[in-house]
Structure 1
Amino acid sequence: MRNPAELSPRQKTLALITLITALVLEIVDMTIVNTALPSIKASLGADARASQWIVAGYSLAFALLLMAGGRLGDSYGYRRMFVFGVIGFTLSSAACGMATTGTGLVAARLMQGATGAIMAPQSMALVQVLFSPLERVSRMAMFGVIGGLAAIAGPILGGMLIEANLFELGWRAVFLINLPVGIGAVIAGLMLLPEARSGRPAGYDFVGIGLFGLAMAALFWPLIGAGEAGRGAFHFVTLLAAAPLGWAAWRHVARRVRAGDSALFDPALFTIPTFRKGLALSVVFAAAGAGFLLVFAFALQAERGQTPLFTGLLHMPYGFGAMFGIGVMSRNFLPRLGRWVLVIGAGLMLPACTAVLYGATFAQWSWAVIGALLVLSGAGMGMTSGCIGPIVVSRVERDHAGAASALLKTSQQLGSALGVALVGSLYFAWGHAFPALAAAGVIDAMLAICVVLALRLPARLF
């Protein structure tokens, strides 16, 4: 492929479409499983623990390897690692679709997340390579809009594929549909993307990646399926090991920064109040959102007896509310109201999400009422999530912008996995009627923490 500067506008547009295709693959596979989970659970006989890992494993593997994926592109070339990531993602999608046990599907989902973490950073890097700073503004906005639409489309597409039952594949089609898309993306990537890499590759810190990975595994392994019987001393000791492992990882990164060696991030970022508090808010808010969407999709089918297609379509009001919250409310009011946009957003989402789960399961309200409440829930979600990103990087120096953005995305993925672990464990372990209402209590607690964290942000954010 020629130098990026030699590409015509048409070639750049085709390259951008290729990158957007990968973005859609990555995001859809985060949300498409929620709708399919009841069918998967019934088909494979997966227990509650496996069911949670099927959802959380993707986000966890993605989060742990995201920063490493960015470094690989810097060193070996963005196009090469993009193609490698798409090939791995496509093969692991095939493995998901052909899984015959819950354990096999969990392993394939972990591989999906790991290869997605290689694929995703290259898209952002190649946008930087292909377009001038002014051109990037509209292209990055396009990524945001399409990413939001992809998140909405995931549950809908999952429901449609299961309902259609193409070739008697059932739920397997939600993974196997990635094969033709992935093959097309590989061919397009080889033909259309420029060959580029960083002039100053940052190097690797495999020890840091390993230590943080062990710390996260020690945290999530006992939390997922925490309500199951037979949880012994091993799980408790594993949970206790998470803190010292995390401390060791932090010390290791700090030591490498002081020595001038490559590191995953600079701990000095966490001395910035807006970054530190914004990142904490990002984790908790992502956990609340992921927990709500998991329980909502599962409860509609298990407790209300709805089809996967109807469940997917019912996500649309939530998505429309989120787009309004992000595109209108957060964009227009964050510069003027500052932290109060987040306070209002999380405060609105708290009662609305509770009302959705209560009305959809216990009270069995009409779908029109549920739809209206979902719009309010989505608007609150959009107001909050649309503000978190700008706040986190608001006082970060440009030299650290890449690492700060990667840490933000990592925190969001870890938060999603945490929400599935905590909320999902309570939901599946609840031995009484209407487990969605019990799960709503945990979601409410998380959103209340979000309100408190938002109030603790500085009055002047920018």
Structure 2
Amino acid sequence: MTAQPAAPALATGSKLPHELDDRQRALAFFTVLTAVVLEVADTTIVNTALPAIRTGLGASPSAMQWIVAGYLLTLGSLLLLGGRLGDAFGHRRLFLLGVAGFVAASALCGLAPSAGVLVLARVLQGAAGAMMGPQTMAIVQLLYTPLERVKRLAFFGMIIGLAAIIGPILGGFLIELDLFGLGWRLIFLINLPVGLFALTMGRITLPRTGEEHHGLAIDLAGAALFAAGFGMILLALIQSHEDMPLAQAASILVGGIAGVGLGWHRASTRRAAGLPAMIEPSLFALPTFRWGVMAAMAFNSGSVGFLMIFAVALQQGLALSPLQTALIHIPFGLGVMIAVGLIVPRLLPRFGRRLPMAGGLLMAGGIVSTLALIHAAVEGGPVLIATLALAGIGFGTLSGPLGPIVVSEVPRTHAGTASATMRTAQQLGGALGIALVGSAYFAVGGNDAAARLAGLVPGAIMVAALLAVAVLAVSRLPATLFAAERKPVAD
């Protein structure tokens, strides 16, 4: 009897990437994709749960903001550090440590006995995500050749966008499900089985990279300066409207700005001396990178801030259930998918920077109209569905092109740093949006339903202002950005 060839072994942890067959690479890709969904969905899934958390833990408005902003702050501040640690100690090792930390922090979130503990757990969750996140892209780059990578990264981007959109919807369904009486805690505890699956699959399917550089210098002081600086800025903005004297908030704000400035100066001097730094200041000499990153940061500030006050106002102002709140998000999500999947690919080459500019204006108009309808106690109907869909279309039309814009002229040797810097700007922009938009909303709101809706007016103004900054930044991009004669800078 002829012996049959052995099936390829599932366990690949002792292999190098080029030693994997197609099935093993597909399993490894699916594993890192699972972790990405965890990281991105936890950015927005909490929005729908904030009113229930406020009731269950007696959370103050500032605590509600910190529950969202704390995660984004550590995630954004430590992303570049996470990438450097992956280069130094191995992407597989850092990925597994990051997933394990994310699972542990999620458990602490789900079991938190007080709002303070939940904020701390969210900060830890963001730090774990920052260790896990950069490794996913690095592992994909190691698994596939440049030509193979194109389709995988396009799929990667689509899943990331869908995860962010589906987050609030999934949160509403989980709270309504109220499995075992867990209520809002289920939105965090659901990460345990998913994370443990990713951890187990990661140990089995991910190859060793073989590119560890244990002597690689890491700028820990630079990372600490950026994290502390942004943390102080958020502290001043979030606490100033609740229990912090204005003079004290102003002092902390100045200190935070100084911390970020020192971090930037340190990065510049270290790069000039040939030493590693957390950012690459020379990238900001490229107009497409500089204005693209600014647009991405302002866009995330406006969109993340909107999604938070939108979910809170629907429940606290209109007394909608988490499930009803989740369902109202669907037109917005559909609008985003239409824009990213149909509008941007067809119209971006033709209209260039004018398309994301139009998207930003459409998004601002849709959001302001949506918040105005909720302020008028409109709970649904075709008009609200239309404004949400328009806001979603604007969202996708503005956000879709930003990634290609940022890296369009970046030297290939700095492609990874450029992508990581943009992700950092996006996460920190989201945290800033929670502070600015959330503070504008909560500073006016009161205890009864009408007063809670009153905060939508300054909240909408702040969102519109942030999106105006994004549109202005896009307008500063070169007019021939997508012309055939403009090529990326050589290595």
After TM superposition, the score normalised by the length of structure 1 is 0.97
Q: Distance in 2 between matches of 1:235 and 1:359?
A: 34
Q: How far apart in 2 are the matches of 1:363 and 1:107?
A: 35
The question of 1:436 aligning with 2:456 is answered yes
Q: Which residue in 2 is equivalent to 1:106?
A: 119
Q: Answer yes or no: is the 8 Å Cα contact 1:257–1:266 preserved in 2.
A: yes
Pair 1:455 & 2:469 matched: no
Structure 1 residue 246 displacement after superposition: 2.0
* CA shift for structure 1 position 233: 2.9
Identity %: 47
Alignment of 1:225-374 (within 5 A): 225-364=239-378, 366-374=380-388
Measure the CA separation in 2 of the matches of 1:10 and 1:401. 28
Distance 1:216 1:238 in 2: 11
Tell me the distance in 1 between the aligned counterparts of 2:182 and 2:280: 47
Range that drifts further, 13-22 or 147-156: 147-156
- 1:424 pairs with 2:438: yes
How far apart are 1:360 and its partner, in Å? 2.3
What are the Cα deviations for residues 257-294 of structure 1, in whole angstroms up to 9, with x where unaligned? Answer: 11111111221111111111111111111101011101
Query: Which residue identity lines up with residue 100 of structure 1 in the other structure?
Result: P
In structure 1, distance between residues paired with 2:288 and 2:140: 27
The correspondence for 2:70, drawn from 57, 65, 78, is 57
Q: How far apart are residue 331 of structure 1 and its match?
A: 2.1
Q: Which residue of 1 aligns with 2:144?
A: 131
In structure 2, the partner of 1:23 is: 36
Pick the aligned partner of 2:191 from 157, 175, 178: 178
- 8 Å contact 2:348–2:355 — kept in the other structure? yes
Return the alpha-carbon distance in structure 1 between the equivalents of residues 153 and 361 of structure 2.
29
- TM-superposed deviation, 1:200: 5.7
Are the aligned partners of 2:16 and 2:210 in contact in 1 as well (CA < 8 Å)? Answer: no
**Unpaired runs of 5+ in structure 2?**
1-12, 446-450, 483-491
The answer as to whether partners of 2:219 and 2:278 remain within 8 angstroms in 1 is yes
Distance 2:161 2:253 in 1: 34
The one of 147, 153, 156 equivalent to 2:166 is 153
Contact 2:318 2:377 in 1 (8 A): no
SS at match of 1:196: coil
Work out the number of aligned pairs and report it.
462
Q: 2:230 aligns with which of 212, 216, 222?
A: 216
Pick the aligned partner of 2:422 from 389, 401, 408: 408
Q: In 2, distance between residues paired with 1:228 and 1:44?
A: 18
- CA distance, structure 2, for counterparts of residue 23 and residue 137 of structure 1: 18
Deviation at 1:236, TM superposition (A): 1.6
Q: Would you say the 8 A contact 1:303–1:434 is kept in 2?
A: no
Q: How far is 1:363 from its partner?
A: 4.8
CA contact (8 A) 2:89 2:213 kept: no
Contact kept, 8 Å, 1:69 with 1:117, in 2: the verdict is yes
Residue of structure 2 in register with 1:68 after alignment: 81
Per the TM alignment, residue 20 of structure 1 is displaced from its structure 2 partner at its CA by 0.9
List runs of 5+ in structure 1 lacking aligned partners: none
Change (3 A) 1:363 1:38: closer
Is the CA contact (8 Å cut-off) linking 2:49 and 2:322 kept in structure 1? yes
Structure 2 residue identity aligned to 1:148: G
Secondary structure (helix, strand or coil) at the match of 1:370 reads: helix
Q: Contact 1:45–1:102 (CA<8 Å) still a contact in 2?
A: yes
- Of stretches 29-38 and 365-374 in structure 1, the one that deviates more from structure 2 is 365-374
Amino acid corresponding to residue 456 of structure 1 in structure 2: R
Report the Cα distance in structure 2 between the residues aligned to 1:164 and 1:366, rounded to whole angstroms.
22
Equivalence for 1:394: 408
SS in 2 for 1:459: coil
Decide whether the 8 Å contact of 2:103 with 2:192 is kept in 1. Answer: yes
Distance in 1 of aligned mates of 2:212 and 2:92? 15
The aligned counterpart of 1:79 is 92
Which moved further from structure 2: 409-418 or 251-260?
251-260
Amino acid at match of 2:465: A
Q: What secondary structure sits across from 2:239 in the alignment?
A: coil
Quick check: 2:90–2:212 contact (8 Å CA) kept in 1?
Answer: no
Secondary structure of the corresponding residue to residue 46 of structure 2: helix
Which letter maps to 1:435?
Answer: G
Change (3 A) 1:437 1:234: closer
Structure 1 match to 2:202 = 189
